[in-house]
Structure 1
Amino acid sequence: MLLTIATTHQPATDLGYLLHKHPNRCQSFSLSFGEAHVFYPEANNEQCTAALLLDINPIKLVRKRTLTLDAYVNDRPYVASSFFSVAISQVFGTALGGRCKDKPELVETPMPLVAKISVLPSHGGEGFLRELFEPLGYQVTLQNYPLDETFPEWGQSKYFTVELQNTIPLSLLLSHLYVLIPVLDNNKHYWVNEDEVEKLLRHGEGWLKEHPLKEEITKRYLKRQYRLTRAALAQLTEPNEPDPDSVEEIHDKEEAAVEKPLSLNQQRLNCVVAVLKQNNAKKVVDLGCGQGNLLKMLLKDNYFEQITGVDVSYRALEITKERLDRLHLPRNQWDKLQLIQSGLTYTDKRIAGYDAAAVIEVIEHLDLPRLSAFERVLFEFTRPQTVIVTTPNIEYNVKFASLPAGTLRHKDHRFEWTRSQFQKWSKEVGEKFSYSVEFQNVGDEELEVGSPTQMAVFSIIN
């Protein structure tokens, strides 16, 4: 595992003062899992590059572990992971803490920096890496690698060489790496407890709170432990800023109140179930399942054999489970249900292999720049035989007496499309990912404005 940090700050050798490592020396440090080596491939007034090489001892990784095959066959010695964060904190601890005895004025000085990491894993692919680093101001350059150069048909691997360019204080760069490298590591080597919350908040100070993936970063850094994640997010949220899940519930109720006179939600669900049966879909995943309205209908119907609800909100899934528990269904019907917490713009192998995916009133909650990532996750990687997408028809909003003119139906909606916009998007997606598409109206159709909900049914072209 190799990290290089280069600068053209004048004099460039000031980098050695900040890192507290002399450019003319090669130093080695013993760690519990191997050795770290620091050296400078180049060091002059115009250009200075520091390198941190981490040599993992695979024998130390096996000790004190259950001796299964994955203890011996894994990528741990070769890719940047939670081990690298520990190495940064122990070897570059002075720089990470923002301390420099000889030149304290450099600590807060922004300088042009180029960090290169060989190699980072990213299950979410190039998109997730960019979504992590670009909001922090980095120019991101990526090099992906094939699974096997001998067998190009196997496709690309999850491994990338990542180059990050930015003009910021060195301590801030190291803080970003310290937090975000473990976010990409699904197999952290250390025990995650309350201490990790404190480390996350300390090294995320000044930037994590404003990051658009704040919740996802926190969840992954804390190894998806709900109690710790909620504690960290509570401290990252302003005292007068409402809980995001609570706000979402309020907005959901407001939208339901607007549509209630038409019984629109029930009409949508009935249409979706009918289309699922018409397409012989017995294994169904509900993406953005919310509080489980569709899951409830599917679970009670013996036609469906496997049902999965996916939502990014842990609280919504808890409410779903409580609501479904009250159905008192036979055990064989419960066995076909599972709930998964996951984002919809990241690949997740747990949602592959389904006959159909239902995406009910979801896409309008996504920021438009992230819609392309969602398209790839759903139509390219998950790739069910049938995809059902419903979304509000903004043209119909004038018919809702309780909806102020010019407003959307839900305060969290990023957009609402006209019929032509939705059909254009659907046809482009179908053409791009080899799906045919048909459109249906949900609710009573008005001559001038159409129906309140529009539905697209995608069928894979074999």
Structure 2
Amino acid sequence: MLLTITTTHQPATDLGFLLHKNPARLQTLEITAGQAHIFYPEATPERCTAALLLDIDPIALVRNQRGPAGDGFALEQYVNDRPYVASSFLSSALAKAFNTAMNGTCKDRPELPEVLLPLEATVAVMPAATAEQLERLFQPLGYTVETEAHPLDPTVPEWGNSRYFTLRLRHPGIRLRDSLTHLYVLIPVLDNNKHYWINEAEVEKLLHRGGEWLPQHPEREFITRRYLRFAEYVNPTLERLLGEEEAPSDEVPGSLGLTGASSVDLFAGTEPADQPGAQPTREKQNLHDIRLDRVAEEISRLGAKRVLDLGCGEGKLVRRLLKIPQVEHILALDVSWRELERAQQRLHVAEMPPRQRERLTLTQGSLLYHDPRLAGYDAAAVVEVIEHLDEGRLTAFEQVVFARARPGAVLVTTPNADYNQRYETLSAGEFRHADHRFEWTRAQFAAWAAGVAARHGYTVRVVPLGPEAAEVGAPSQLAVFELGATAGA
């Protein structure tokens, strides 16, 4: 993860005074899950470049429970883009390495912070839906924006480009502290997996660093929503930035400005509570809760006594199932041992009364390989799991669950891709979550469900989950498969 800042101001070595970093010395700072190195590749009176290099340790990310949003897959905890791609780690390192410069202080040369410098900033690898998205963020601030797209695989050009760009920003004259502040705010806007908790302190950071320029930015609502993520923080912050009369009004209090009266959080479709550093809103039910509540209701309706929770994560559905008196035993399975540890902690398994503890088994396993432990259950829940599997592996999933385990009922939820156009932060073709391998329209999901049911002797009905909108349906969808012997139970 590399950021360079270059100036041709005369003398260019004034950059060292502004940054409070001597060009003659390499400096190293400890940061979350790694180190930040500050050095100068060039430092002459004509041209000076300061570099901030982050060395992120992927093993430390896992140990600190700061992995990517898809960390339910064991390998991805260690093999991911976090060490290389600009993210909230870089923003935090900027604040730590150049805090004095961002505050506009220069003890030795107090006049320098107000000088307008010709600056060029380069971020080696920046994530974005499109190059145009980067232009919309930086051009209104006076930068000339250059982007270089990186292919998915240079040896297979037909695969096209990835979502990664090299970003170069040039400004003819800007205060250094302003440029650092722009980067500090806008880099996390494009990070889908912030490594820290979002809370009231983040609101104050955004107001402190963006208060001078953000209210005039044409993308201010997008920036605020992406920086803060949750409606309980976003709308009050926009009111403070813009004034109550100018702030966008929503038909539902706390919503994020979706077209129509939707009370579903903008990022609920990406399971925000499952992402590192994220937390659910407290004022309303988000989409993930809607899914879990509906699945628990269906299991209760079916009269199931022995239930599988396949891909249980931290145990949110398990908590609901334990409240259903008819449920005698739950086998909760996940591929990630870390998620199972979280489930044990958040369900307080160690403090459960013995009879309650006997109702629950938490175990590690994969849905792609036959597991005899899954046989003999009345119902199985597979909540927001299939979209994390490669489509080519769905046949193996089908064999494991429907052909071998054959529970009396199977409940599968997945996002509705038709609804994605309602999410203003998603570009065409972009998925709601970085780890999704696919997202199906209502027609695609219905066709898959009908084929599975026909091949394995189940009946199936597909129902919407969440508030429905004209033409695009609901944000999520549920398929309820029932074996003939239990249909209508």
Q: TM-score range by the shorter chain?
A: 0.5 to 0.7
Letter in 2 for 1:113: L
Alignment deviations for residues 174-201 of structure 1 (CA, whole Å, 9 cap, x no partner): 0000000000100011111110110011
Change (3 A) 1:101 1:336: closer
Letter in 2 for 1:9: H
Structure 2 match to 1:381 = none
RMSD across aligned positions (CA): 3.6
Q: Is 1:290 matched up with 2:372?
A: no
Structure 1 match to 2:226 = 220
Q: Secondary structure at the residue paired with 1:200?
A: helix
Q: Is 1:105 matched up with 2:133?
A: no
Structure 2 match to 1:126 = 131
Structure 2 match to 1:393 = none
Q: Secondary structure at the residue paired with 1:245?
A: coil
The 5 Å alignment of 1:269-280 reads none
Tell me, in whole angstroms, the C-alpha distance in 1 between the residues paired with 2:88 and 2:442.
Answer: 37
Conserved 8 A contact 1:128-1:346: no
Q: Secondary structure at the residue paired with 2:59?
A: helix
* Matched-pair identity in %: 52
TM-score, with length taken from structure 1 = 0.56
Q: Secondary structure at the residue paired with 2:197?
A: coil
Structure 1 match to 2:35 = 35
Alignment deviations for residues 99-123 of structure 1 (CA, whole Å, 9 cap, x no partner): 111111111211100001111111x
Tell me, in whole angstroms, the C-alpha distance in 1 between the residues paired with 2:215 and 2:231.
Answer: 18
Q: Secondary structure at the residue paired with 1:244?
A: coil
Conserved 8 A contact 2:3-2:53: yes
Q: CA deviation at 1:70?
A: 2.4
Conserved 8 A contact 1:142-1:163: yes
Which of 57-66 and 78-87 deviates more? 57-66
Alignment deviations for residues 22-50 of structure 1 (CA, whole Å, 9 cap, x no partner): 11111111223111111111111111111
Q: CA deviation at 1:345?
A: 7.0
Letter in 1 for 2:107: K
Structure 2 match to 1:2 = 2
Q: Secondary structure at the residue paired with 1:107?
A: helix
Conserved 8 A contact 2:415-2:439: no
| Between structures 1 and 2, the one with greater helix share | 1
Q: Secondary structure at the residue paired with 1:157?
A: strand
Tell me, in whole angstroms, the C-alpha distance in 2 between the residues paired with 1:215 and 1:59.
Answer: 36
Tell me, in whole angstroms, the C-alpha distance in 1 between the residues paired with 2:188 and 2:425.
Answer: 21
Q: CA deviation at 1:74?
A: 0.9
Tell me, in whole angstroms, the C-alpha distance in 1 between the residues paired with 2:206 and 2:22.
Answer: 29
The 5 Å alignment of 1:312-461 reads 342-343=423-424, 346-347=427-428, 348-350=430-432, 353-354=440-441
Q: For structure 2, which runs of at least 5 residues remain unmatched after alignment?
A: 66-70, 253-257, 263-268, 270-283, 288-296, 302-412, 433-437, 444-470, 472-489
Conserved 8 A contact 2:4-2:51: yes
Conserved 8 A contact 2:26-2:37: yes
Letter in 2 for 1:109: V
Tell me, in whole angstroms, the C-alpha distance in 1 between the residues paired with 2:76 and 2:414.
Answer: 30
Conserved 8 A contact 2:238-2:247: no
Structure 1 match to 2:147 = 142
Q: Secondary structure at the residue paired with 1:104?
A: coil
Q: For structure 1, which runs of at least 5 residues remain unmatched after alignment?
A: 250-287, 293-307, 309-317, 322-329, 357-387, 389-462
Q: Secondary structure at the residue paired with 2:249?
A: helix
Q: CA deviation at 1:346?
A: 2.3
Count of residue pairs the alignment pairs up: 290
Conserved 8 A contact 1:111-1:169: yes
TM-score, with length taken from structure 2 = 0.53
Change (3 A) 1:171 1:291: same
Q: Secondary structure at the residue paired with 1:54?
A: strand
Structure 1 match to 2:338 = none
Conserved 8 A contact 2:203-2:233: yes
Q: Among 232, 237, 243, which residue is 2:242 paired with?
A: 237
Alignment deviations for residues 260-311 of structure 1 (CA, whole Å, 9 cap, x no partner): xxxxxxxxxxxxxxxxxxxxxxxxxxxx75248xxxxxxxxxxxxxxx9xxx
Tell me, in whole angstroms, the C-alpha distance in 1 between the residues paired with 2:45 and 2:52.
Answer: 20
